[in-house]
Amino acid sequence: MAADDKTPMGKIMIVTGSGRGIGAATALLAAQRGYAVCVNYLHNRNAAERVVRDIEKTGGQAIAVGADVASEAAVMRLFETVDKEMGRVSALVNNAGILEKQTRLDGIDAARLTRVLATNVIGAFMCSRDAVRRMSTQHGGQGGGIVNVSSRASQIGSPGEYIDYAASKGAVDSLTVGLAKEVAEEGIRVNAVRPGFIYTEMHASGGEPERVERVKAFAPMKRGGKAEEVARAILWLLSEEASYTTGAFIDVSGGR
């Protein structure tokens, strides 16, 4: 999209980690709701570009931008690219996250902890910071919304699987509450969704691609969730229907 074709009315969204899963579903739904979308990815450019093409096929506007959210410099370049090619961001979805092979704490080393926390925690902080610098009325912005993709693991703990991932999402929960209060008078609402057992490719990173089939019986609804179901909650939190909602959490977890 050319610089002179920037989206009017500032309805511009960045979705981190949106080449697949919940991020891709959110980007697609956001485009249907009138957002121009930045589809952020780490390695899989082809997947991100497929999301962009799917958005463009239905008349939407999107760009794919590669950036490692664990890198402060990369995050800054991501937002600067959106500034230049789309305009000032009005919605941020902190979706990028990683987990590693299932293990107990006694199988986790510091290098793994650093990787998980750098992406899941530092990434969410840095992206939120750069969004606030553009959205806040204190910085000349028009307000906006941030939705953090946390996890029910933040409260359940994921024992025997990935308590490091669960702890990182606990930090995301704290970020949500604290930042919501910090910027509430500056036109920015900050909320979070906590997905449960959702069918995404992420489970393969933990070493069990079919994990949802094993654990879905623990959810009162006795099924796994779809990425689109999480995306709908995210878009509601960013909508005017949620205009008096900040610092809140929606559990998309089938009752668990």
Non-local CB neighbours of 167 within 8 Å, separated by 6+ positions: 154
**pLDDT of 168-197, one tens digit each?**
999 999 999 999 999 999 999 999 999 999
Is there a catalytic annotation at residue 165? yes
Nearest Cα neighbor of 18 from 208, 213, 200 is: 200
Inform me whether the pLDDT recorded for 1 exceeds 70: no
Ranges of each domain in the chain: 3-252
**pLDDT of 38-90, one tens digit each?**
999 999 999 999 999 999 999 999 999 999 999 999 999 999 999 999 999 99
Write down the architecture of domain 3-252 according to CATH. 3-Layer(aba) Sandwich (3.40)
pLDDT given at position 201: 78
CB 130 within 8 A of CB 81: no
Q: How far apart are CA 235 and CA 237, in angstroms?
A: 5
Token pair 């991501």 is found at: 78
Among 41, 162, 165, 199, which one carries the catalytic annotation?
Answer: 165
pLDDT given at position 207: 76
- Give this prediction's pTM: 0.93
